[in-house]
């Protein structure tokens, strides 16, 4: 019995861009499961972040005070509810996308990867402009999760599974 052939270190672009064949009975690869689980972990991190923000809201509201005409300090609670509401919608959207990725749809996989790229890019931009250090308290955990999500969902097996029902 011969060993399976190793993949070359360099592959031509036509080989990398070749569409996977029509295989509706393809089993779900571990990379797709890992990507969906990582998206759900990102949701958990978001929930923890929101909880920590709510617990420290008075400190955050006084540190990052923005003077807007007509708003008083008593309106700071409204700001918390706005942030929590928007973040909650995004977290629910992430849960829905994770389920759809697990079911094997391609467009949610692409949307999740796009969100991950935007998140990583914004963390890098904030670091580059010296506004934010990447630490465990700031964006290290989300950046690490987003990087792992990109690695898992951009793999050949995850792409082939998401596109298994496409005909040429």
Would you state the pLDDT for residue 55?
87
Residue 116 has pLDDT above 80, yes or no: yes
The residue with greater pLDDT, 17 or 46, is 46
For residue 35, how many C-alpha atoms fall within 13 Å in the half-sphere facing its CB?
35
Would you state the pLDDT for residue 59?
73
Would you state the pLDDT for residue 28?
93
Instruction: Name the percent of the chain lying above pLDDT 90.
Output: 45
What are 98's two structure tokens?
Answer: 């994770």
Would you state the pLDDT for residue 73?
57
Tell me how far apart the terminal alpha carbons of the chain are, to the nearest angstrom.
35
Given pLDDT bands bounded at 50, 70 and 90, which one contains residue 2? low
Q: Choose among 84, 103, 97, 93: nearest CA to 149.
A: 97
For residue 130, how many C-alpha atoms fall within 13 Å in the half-sphere facing its CB?
0
Note the helical H segments in the chain: 13-16, 30-55, 57-63, 76-103, 106-128, 140-153, 156-162
- Rounded alpha-carbon distances, angstroms, from residue 64 to 26, 58, 60, 76: 51, 10, 6, 11
Q: Report d(CA 105, CA 71) in Å as an integer.
A: 45
Given pLDDT bands bounded at 50, 70 and 90, which one contains residue 131? confident
Q: Report d(CA 145, CA 139) in Å as an integer.
A: 10
> pTM for the full model?
0.80
The residue with greater pLDDT, 127 or 13, is 127
Per-residue pLDDT, averaged over 108-129, amounts to: 93
Report the chain's C-alpha Rg in angstroms: 21
């Amino acid at each position: 019995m011969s060993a399976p052939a190793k993949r070359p270190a360099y592959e031509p672009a036509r080989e990398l861009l070749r569409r996977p064949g029509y295989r509706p009975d393809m089993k779900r690869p571990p990379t797709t499961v890992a990507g969906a689980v990582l998206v759900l972990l990102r949701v958990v991190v978001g929930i923890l972040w929101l909880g920590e923000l709510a617990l420290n809201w008075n400190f955050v509201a006084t540190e990052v005070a923005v003077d807007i005409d007509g708003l008083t300090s008593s309106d700071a609670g409204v700001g918390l509810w706005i942030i929590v509401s928007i973040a909650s919608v995004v977290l629910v959207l992430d849960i829905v996308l994770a389920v759809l990725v697990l079911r094997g749809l391609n467009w949610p996989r692409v949307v999740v990867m796009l969100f991950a790229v935007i998140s990583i890019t914004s963390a890098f931009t904030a670091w580059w402009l010296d506004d934010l250090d990447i630490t465990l308290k700031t964006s290290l955990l989300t950046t690490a999760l987003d990087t792992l999500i990109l690695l898992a969902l951009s793999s050949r097996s995850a792409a082939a599974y998401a596109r298994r029902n496409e005909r040429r």
